Amino acid sequence: MAEVEFAGMTFKGGKMMILLTALSGLGGATWATFEFYKDYMDMKEVVQNIDVGEIEARNDVIETQLTEAIDYTRDIKSGLKDDIIRIENLTERTSNRMKTVQDDIDERLRQVSDISRETEKDVRDSLREVEDRLDDKMQKLDEELNETLQEALDNPLS
C-alpha cells in the first residue's frame, strides 16, 4: 500500500483518503474565502463610487414630478367631476324640457281632436240641413211637376 508522510506522520490507506479530503476541503474553503473577499472589495469600490448627491437630486426630481402628476390627476378628477355634474344637470333639464314639450304636444293634439270632432259634427249637421232642404225642394218640385202633369193630362188642349 501507498504511504504518505506529512508533518512527521505517516498515513496509509483510509487515513490517506481522509487527509486528501481534508486538504481539498481546506483548499476549497480558502478559494471561496478569496472569491468572497474579491466580490466584497469590488462592491466596496462600487459603493464608494456612488454619487449620493446625484441620487438625491434624481430623487428630488422624481418627487417633484410625482407631486405634479398627483396635482394634475386631482385637477383632471375635479374637472371630470364638474363635467359629469354639468352633464347630469343638462340631461335633467333636457328631460324636463322634453316632458314639457310632450305634455304640450299631447294637449294640442287633444285640442285638435276636439276641434276636428266639432268640425265634423258641424259639417254633418250642415250636410243634413242641405240634404233636408234639397229633399224639401225636390218634394215641392216633384209635387209641382205632378200638378203640372196632372193639369196637362186633365186638359190636354190648354
> Could you state, in order of their start, the residue ranges of all structural domains in the chain?
1-51, 80-158
Beta-carbon contacts of 12 under 8 Å, excluding residues fewer than 6 positions away, are 1, 2, 3, 4
Give 102's pLDDT tier (boundaries 50, 70, 90): very high
Q: What is the pLDDT of residues 33-81, one digit of tens each?
A: 999 999 999 898 888 888 888 889 999 999 999 999 999 999 999 999 9
pLDDT on residue 158? 59
Contacts of 151 (CB under 8 A, 6+ apart): 158
Could you tell me how far CA 127 lies from the centroid of its own chain? 63
pLDDT for position 116: 94
Angstrom CA distances, 95 to 79, 81, 107, 136, stand at 24, 21, 18, 60
- What does the pLDDT look like over 109-133, one tens digit per residue? 999 999 999 999 999 999 999 999 9
Q: Which pLDDT belongs to residue 3? A: 74
- At residue 6, the pLDDT reads 67
- Residue 89's pLDDT is 96
Percent of the chain topping pLDDT 70: 96
The per-residue DSSP string of 94-148 comes to HHHHHHHHHHHHHHHHHHHHHHHHHHHHHHHHHHHHHHHHHHHHHHHHHHHHHHH
* pLDDT at site 78: 94
Task: Report the distance separating Cα 91 and Cα 77, nearest Å.
Answer: 21
